[in-house]
Amino acid sequence: MTSLSEHAALFYFDDDYEAARQPSKLQLESADIASLVAEAKRLAVQRNLLLPDADSLLERCIVALLGGHIILQGPPGTGKTTLAFILAEAFNATAQLETATADWSTYDVIGGLHPTAKGGVETLVPWLGHVPRAALECASVAVRHADPEENEPHQAHWLIIDEFSRAEIDKAIGPLYTVLGGGENDVPLPLWFEHEENKKEVWLPKRFRIIATMNSVDTNYVYTFSQGLSRRFQFVYVGVPAKEQVDRELEQARISAEMWMAKTYPAAHAGAFAKDSRVLHASTTLADMLRTLRYDDNGRPGWPLGTAQVVDVYRQLALRLPAAGGDVDSLTPALDLALADRVVPQAGNLTKAQLDAFDEWLSRQDLPRTSLALQHLRLASSTGY
């Protein structure tokens, strides 16, 4: 049996996938839930990601990842992809992001034969899909991490699959279905398209994880997947912040928008956006909207408008701030346009009761363009145009 030190020279196992089998047996270095949760929480604060019931949510994610692969599901804009990267970093793992599409097949997930031209002659060569490629990279990182001379700080490499349910995963996942099943005896992932004997299968490392994200709102535009496949992942729901978190959420959203403006358009950056009195005045309207439309009288979620959409509104305010007047309400027209252009289009899947509540709230506001945009949306929904 080859030792780990002998594997250290193989790096990416380009020529011998079988060589990755031994380091693939290495388990994650720590199962200290409290420390992992604390690190994930620190990273979330660092990235201005406000999570509902953060301690409980992060603990559920950490426990799920210690046991296997997870799916983060919830409304759009709640920070699921950001959370996926945070979780990987908390476990001291690098991560690659792939976005699932309706065109995905076993070619994308597992691999297949890829046409290429050599010497003017077209031929078919093996191509590794996202999962075996990430798994081999995970084994390589684990080996380098175990070798003091390599100075590799990370213990693993993970795969993040965004918009998981936009692919027909039950078909695209192919033989990975069996590999993810677990059980007493591990099984390798077969690679039918490889010609060389030592490259015909890949062992998924014990340290390897798949974190998938899934939009739980746009159910009309995504695929469902089987109960058997669902059992191979643990589902963790990521919702909008709680009602009592709205002020803190808006503060972090303003900070995120200010950082974006300073980085993207430094010459136009007005400075101190997050604490500008005009922005704070506009924020009172945003806070009232969220508290009115997001939650029912008992504080339970209504329209799950995500924080990312709120950040989008603030980005538009940041862009328009230099041209705004000095009056405290001079950003109201800009807020009106931002809500019409960034928030109303998100209301397409709302129920009649939710749209009526939006209408009723708008009737008390000086936001004519937002009101008009909502009327256009309701008309389009009722006529099909």
Task: Give me the pLDDT at residue 219, please.
Answer: 56
CA gap 157, 98 in Å, rounded: 14
Task: Give me the pLDDT at residue 353, please.
Answer: 86
256 in the same domain as 140: no
Q: What is the count of structural domains for the chain?
A: 2
Domain boundary among 215, 237, 259: 237
Question: Exposed e or buried b for every residue in 366-379, given b needs 16+ CB within 10 A?
Answer: ebebbbebbeebbe
Neighbours of 63 (CB within 10 A): 16
Q: What is the pLDDT of residues 40-84, one digit of tens each?
A: 999 999 999 999 999 999 999 999 999 999 999 998 999 999 999
252 in the same domain as 209: no
Q: How many Å separate Cα 41 from the centre of its chain?
A: 16
Lowest mean pLDDT among 21-30, 155-164, 298-307: 298-307
Rounded to the nearest 10°, the torsion over CA 117, 123, 129, 135 is -90
CA gap 161, 218 in Å, rounded: 17
253: nearest Cα among 303, 210, 191, 306: 306
pLDDT band at residue 121, thresholds of 50, 70 and 90? confident
252 in the same domain as 145: no
273 in the same domain as 250: yes
303 in the same domain as 178: no
270 in the same domain as 173: no
Domain boundary among 213, 237, 261: 237
253 in the same domain as 221: no
pLDDT above 50 (res 1): no
CA gap 282, 113 in Å, rounded: 56
Contact 114, 124 (CB under 8 A): yes
| Residue 220 CB burial class (10 angstroms; 0-12, 13-18, ≥19) | exposed
CA gap 13, 74 in Å, rounded: 37
| Residue 363 CB burial class (10 angstroms; 0-12, 13-18, ≥19) | exposed
Q: Tell me how many helices (H) and strands (E) the chain has.
A: 15, 9
CA gap 29, 24 in Å, rounded: 13
196 in the same domain as 53: yes
Q: What is the pLDDT of residues 280-331, one digit of tens each?
A: 999 999 999 999 999 877 655 588 899 999 999 999 999 999 888 889 999 9
Output 271 or 103, whichever has higher pLDDT: 103
Domain boundary among 237, 265, 288: 237
185 in the same domain as 219: yes
CA gap 112, 100 in Å, rounded: 17
Mean pLDDT of the chain, nearest integer: 89
Neighbours of 19 (CB within 10 A): 18
pLDDT above 70 (res 163): yes
257 in the same domain as 157: no
pLDDT band at residue 204, thresholds of 50, 70 and 90? very high
268 in the same domain as 356: yes
264 in the same domain as 224: no
Q: Which domain holds residue 296?
A: 243-383
The number of residues making up the chain comes to 385
CA gap 297, 288 in Å, rounded: 14
Which CATH number characterizes residue 157's domain? 3.40.50.300
Q: What is the pLDDT of residues 320-364, one digit of tens each?
A: 998 888 899 999 999 999 999 999 998 888 888 889 999 999 999
**85 backbone dihedrals φ, ψ, rounded to 5°:** -65, -40
